[in-house]
Amino acid sequence: MPSSHPIPSPGRFASIGVFALTVLVFAGGITGLTWQLRAGLREQIFRREADRMAAVVSMQLELSAVEMVLPPEQLPVALLFAVLKASKFSGVVGVRVFDASRQFCAAWPVPWLETPPADEDWVKLVGGATLARLHANVSAEEVIGLGSLRPGLLETWVPVRLSGNDGLLGVAQFWISAEGPLAEFAGHDRRLWTQAVTAWLAGSFVIGLALHWAFRRIEAAHRALRARTEDLQRANRELVLTAKTSALGAVTAHLMHELKNPLAGLEVFMAGQFDAEGRAELASGEELVAASALTRRLRTMVTDVVEVLRDEQMGATFELSAAEMLGAVAAKVQGEAKQRGVALEVVGAAEVGGVVSGRRANLAILVIRNLLQNAIEATPAGGAVRLTSAQRAEGGLEFLIADGGPGLPATVRASLFQPCASSKPSGSGVGLALSYQLALKADGVLELVKSDERGACFRLVLPAEA
């Protein structure tokens, strides 16, 4: 049996949490990528500054060699002059020169430290690479003991060679004011972070739309699954009810067969207790009248059920009109209504056209009769029970059974058309359930139209005949 517990659906807070987590992860990815781009741009700027100084030194060295007409063995002298000339470019605050053997040659301004480059840096310089490092919090005064510039220096190491000659003449170390590179860094940072925030906002919007669409699909799938679960539960209840009523129907058929003859004999016996003028011969006349009426009702009910069962077994084919059906039902319950002081009103029988097959008519008559008997029992003396028939626009017939009672109890409405404890002293609690199953057997629909303090109303709809 399907579980009666509702299937939990993804809540609003869960979807908001997923969106927030996704956006945070997306923000982390964009931040990491932006940081890598930032580091790459700074490395390119460092390399550009170092390559620029290397090109200037090489150009000055070649010009000095041509002007001084020095032989190759005296080129280290020209190296010093070339570096000193390059140091006059804007932004250079200090320079040191080392020859090819890593020996200190000169420095400007003087005095200055003669510490040679580190082993690792020297290997790279000999290989032809240029080096650049940013010292954002170091001033010229701290490095060379001169100057009053704001903190921020760019340290560059460049190898010096003549064009067409692979031999290393020496290396030069420049200390350059970092105001230009730092301003360039700030401009790049603003553009990068602006682009990162823009990409994050646009991506978050797209993610939000995608998640909203996905959660809408999930919610739709959940509703469909919940509807199917409810259909399965309803089908399971109907199968259980069908099994119960089918078993009850088999027992009923047997009981009808066994009760028919004893009830007929009891009716004959009860009829013998009245004189020729219809008066009871015993002292308890009212009890006899009631017993006789009950006996006739029971025999009529048994006879009706037996006839339906016999028609089902024999496959009888006949048709009844709506007027004939209502006339047959009214004749069966008119006596009971009169005995209880309830008026029975039949409306629309003559105006309704169309016919119903015998099998469907027999089942419908049983349903309508049971509903009318319930309505008569629920209506107080002096009230009225109304039976209305009409032909539907799409074909088929519609029957309305309305009473003037207090309406159905809440317990009955909660489990309508299901076996339950009856609120009547002599009730079995299966009357409405059996009527519902009989309506289904007739390919019809039985439903409760209303139930309030002014009474209840049931509707039986039979489809159009093929």
**SS3 per residue for the chain:** CCCCCCCCCCCHHHHHHHHHHHHHHHHHHHHHHHHHHHHHHHHHHHHHHHHHHHHHHHHHHHHHHHHHCCCHHHHHHHHHHHHHHHCCCCCEEEEEEEECCCCEEEEECCCCCCCCCCHHHHHHHHCCCCEEEEECCCCHHHHHCCCCCCCCEEEEEEEECCCCCCCCCEEEEEEEECHHHHHHHHHHHHHHHHHHHHHHHHHHHHHHHHHHHHHHHHHHHHHHHHHHHHHHHHHHHHHHHHHHHHHHHHHHHHHHHHHHHHHHHHHHHHHCCECCCCCECCCCHHHHHHHHHHHHHHHHHHHHHHHHHHHHHHCCCCEEEHHHHHHHHHHHHHHHHHHCCCEEEEECCCCCCCEEEHHHHHHHHHHHHHHHHHHHHHCCCCCEEEEEEEECCCCCEEEEEECCCCCCCHHHHHCCCCCCCCCCCCCCCCHHHHHHHHHHHCCCEEEEEEEECCEEEEEEEECCCC
Residue 407 has pLDDT above 80, yes or no: yes
Cβ atoms 70, 78 nearer than 8 A: yes
Angle, CA of 144, 104 and 139, to the nearest 5°:
15
CATH 3.30.565.10 residue ranges of the chain are 317-462
How confident is the model at residue 72, as a pLDDT? 46
Q: Express each pLDDT in 28-48 by its tens digit.
A: 888 989 888 888 888 888 788
How confident is the model at residue 254, as a pLDDT? 47
Q: Express each pLDDT in 130-150 by its tens digit.
A: 888 888 777 766 766 665 556
Give the integer Cα–Cα distance in Å for 22 and 199: 14
How confident is the model at residue 459, as a pLDDT? 93
Cβ within 8 Å of residue 379, ≥6 positions away: 340, 342, 385, 403, 404, 405, 455
Look-up of token digits 């360039």: 184
Question: What does DSSP say about strands 343-347 and 384-391: parallel, antiparallel, or unpaired?
Answer: parallel
For the chain, the average pLDDT equals: 75
CATH topology for the 317-462 domain? Heat Shock Protein 90 (3.30.565)
How confident is the model at residue 267, as a pLDDT? 59
Residue 393 has pLDDT above 50, yes or no: yes
How confident is the model at residue 251, as a pLDDT? 46
How confident is the model at residue 78, as a pLDDT? 56
Q: Express each pLDDT in 287-341 by its tens digit.
A: 565 566 556 656 666 666 666 656 555 555 677 888 888 888 888 888 888 888 9
How confident is the model at residue 292, as a pLDDT? 61
Give the integer Cα–Cα distance in Å for 155 and 335: 119
Residue 366 has pLDDT above 90, yes or no: no
Give the integer Cα–Cα distance in Å for 66 and 188: 41
Percent above pLDDT 90 for the chain:
6
How confident is the model at residue 69, as a pLDDT? 46
How confident is the model at residue 4, as a pLDDT? 46
How confident is the model at residue 426, as a pLDDT? 44
- CA 38 vs. chain centroid, Å, equals 42
How confident is the model at residue 307, as a pLDDT? 63
Q: Express each pLDDT in 49-88 by its tens digit.
A: 778 777 777 777 666 655 544 454 444 555 666 666 666 6
How confident is the model at residue 247, as a pLDDT? 47
How confident is the model at residue 403, as a pLDDT? 93
Q: What's the pLDDT band for 1 if we cut at 50, 70, 90?
A: very low
Residue type, 108: W
Residue 427 has pLDDT above 50, yes or no: no
Q: What's the pLDDT band for 386 if we cut at 50, 70, 90?
A: very high
For the CA atoms of 163, 122, 117, 161, the dihedral, rounded to the nearest 10 degrees, stands at -10
Residue 211 has pLDDT above 80, yes or no: yes
Give the integer Cα–Cα distance in Å for 258 and 114: 129
CA-to-CA dists, residue 182 to 32, 35, 317, angstroms: 21, 16, 103
Cβ atoms 208, 195 nearer than 8 A: no
Domain at 12-190, CATH class: alpha beta
How confident is the model at residue 270, as a pLDDT? 60
Q: Which of 97-101, 236-240, 252-256, 462-466 has the highest mean pLDDT?
A: 97-101
Which of these ranges, 298-307, 365-374, 454-463, has the smallest mean pLDDT? Answer: 298-307
Percent above pLDDT 70 for the chain:
65
Task: Kindly state the average pLDDT of the residues 354-358.
Answer: 76
Q: Express each pLDDT in 223-252 by its tens digit.
A: 888 888 888 888 877 776 665 555 445 445
CATH 3.30.450.20 residue ranges of the chain are 12-190
How confident is the model at residue 68, as a pLDDT? 46
For residue 375 the two structure tokens come to: 């309505």
Residue 454 has pLDDT above 80, yes or no: yes
